[in-house]
Structure 1
């Protein structure tokens, strides 16, 4: 459990659950059991909103079927939800992206056709929640400028409101002025332009996913939280210390700007370690089929609920 400013016992609190890196597919349903556990847990916890920070599709941003299936699974959430894209949804801004798939207009349009939007804002009491497309940050394309203009307009409405930003990639590993780590984080140009667009806004939280680890640290008054995957883990060397386990992240936000957050492991969730699968097949898009209907009665029953 982590606190940023003590929460007042009489102050209204707002409950957010973040899920990330679902990596779902109907024909390669390796991560479905983890998602079923998360769905049951969310229904029990009944938060005000669920935010999914990307990589909804299994592996390939060009697989429309996986996008459609992932959207159908998010629609099973029993409370309001919002989502932003990950690199496995629209490609990456990394100069050397996974499987050579760069973010581009076609991939973004495919995502928008299924999910409707790649940016949004929601209000919870005094809090403003903003979802951003991390793969426009530093891209130097027109759509990036549109996102900055939209963000500046949203923030200018009231700069005193506590602000939480949700996006797929973290802004940094340790410091806001660090060198580039494009496989892990937003590129430095995008980070600096985002911070400039925010200006003196009351930024309290940046919540991300992407790295399949749970990690948190504080920069000034900003809580930086990395959510793990809802199922999938990959054993590999990392330059940072973090917890390698699946789960969801709870946030409790009070109207004075206080934050409390913690990792939760839904009952029944089991890590899906894909390390050996990737070593053998190279990518999840090429592993053997594991159809959803083959997962057994529990998954089928929950799916039909």
Structure 2
């Protein structure tokens, strides 16, 4: 079975290089001919309250022919914890706005004997009613998927590079982690895929492949230290997974993409200004 993970497209209704890159990647994904596509969030540029970005993103992503499921990132619905980016905490209203365009923010898809599972990482440690709804569903996963091998996807990684960096800005919230790990222990998870960190890396945990997928929009070469997020390839792309008896993740990218730094993207600077985020001098 072939699965493609795309993430952190950061599409703006104003266009620009993230949107143009997304169009190139949509065409490229069709050429890869996957059985299923999973978008692991940050679909839109930055502001979860800008509905025009969701409209633009949905129009571009509709070009993907394969079945696709979309998870939210912190820039789609806000994030939990103290001091969320841009003062945009995750809320029920923001979750509802995402679902109105992209559907339910968790899923199980059975494809060629594999269970492809998606979770909304922005709900963990949020205290929202939607968090408890997701927990009730998560705890049915052992029954839903049975003995099938599982490929599990989230926007933020489940685990931090080092334990001291397990926090809601970077990962699944630390208060939720033990409860989630208890459910995962009942599943045959062979692959974990996440986005958020804008870099490609492959590691291993308890026999499972752990993949950090690259963005298709822009890079953060100097934003976060490798001591915090771990080493990896800072380049735009998608991840193709060959799922059989083993899991083989492959970095893929088309020709013609533009790889700007975050603050070189005009649409990102416009969005930051609209959100009231003051850039350093």
Do both share a fold (TM > 0.5)?
yes
Q: Distance in 1 between matches of 2:154 and 2:241?
A: 15
Question: Which one scores higher on RCO, CA 8 angstroms, separation ≥ 6?
Answer: 1
3-state SS in 2 of match to 1:268: coil
Q: Are the aligned partners of 1:172 and 1:178 in contact in 2 as well (CA < 8 Å)?
A: no
1:152-301 → structure 2 map (5 Å cutoff): 152-174=139-161, 180-235=166-221, 236-238=223-225, 239=227, 240-254=230-244, 256=245, 258-276=246-264, 283-286=269-272
Deviation at 1:229, TM superposition (A): 0.6
Q: Distance in 1 between matches of 2:264 and 2:9?
A: 19
1:15-94 → structure 2 map (5 Å cutoff): 15-94=2-81
Q: Distance in 1 between matches of 2:224 and 2:69?
A: 32
Residue segments in structure 1 that go unaligned for 5+ positions in a row = 1-13, 289-305
3-state SS in 1 of match to 2:98: helix
Q: Distance in 2 between matches of 1:138 and 1:237?
A: 23
Residue segments in structure 2 that go unaligned for 5+ positions in a row = 275-281
C-alpha RMSD of the superposition: 2.1
Deviation at 1:155, TM superposition (A): 2.2
Mean Cα displacement is larger for which, 225-234 or 29-38? 29-38
Deviation at 1:276, TM superposition (A): 4.3
Q: Are the aligned partners of 1:246 and 1:271 in contact in 2 as well (CA < 8 Å)?
A: yes
Q: Residues 160, 76 of structure 1: CA spacing in aligned structure 2 closer, same or farther, 3 A cutoff? A: same
Where has structure 1 moved over 3 Å in runs of 4 or more?
275-278, 281-284
Q: Deviations over 1:18-67 (max 9, x none)?
A: 00000001214331221122112112111101110001111100001111
Q: Distance in 2 between matches of 1:144 and 1:121?
A: 17
Q: Distance in 1 between matches of 2:258 and 2:168?
A: 29
TM-score after normalising by structure 2: 0.89
Q: Distance in 2 between matches of 1:133 and 1:178?
A: 22
Q: Deviations over 1:245-295 (max 9, x none)?
A: 1000010101x3x101111111222212223458xx98450579xxxxxxx
Mean Cα displacement is larger for which, 233-242 or 48-57? 233-242
Deviation at 1:209, TM superposition (A): 0.2
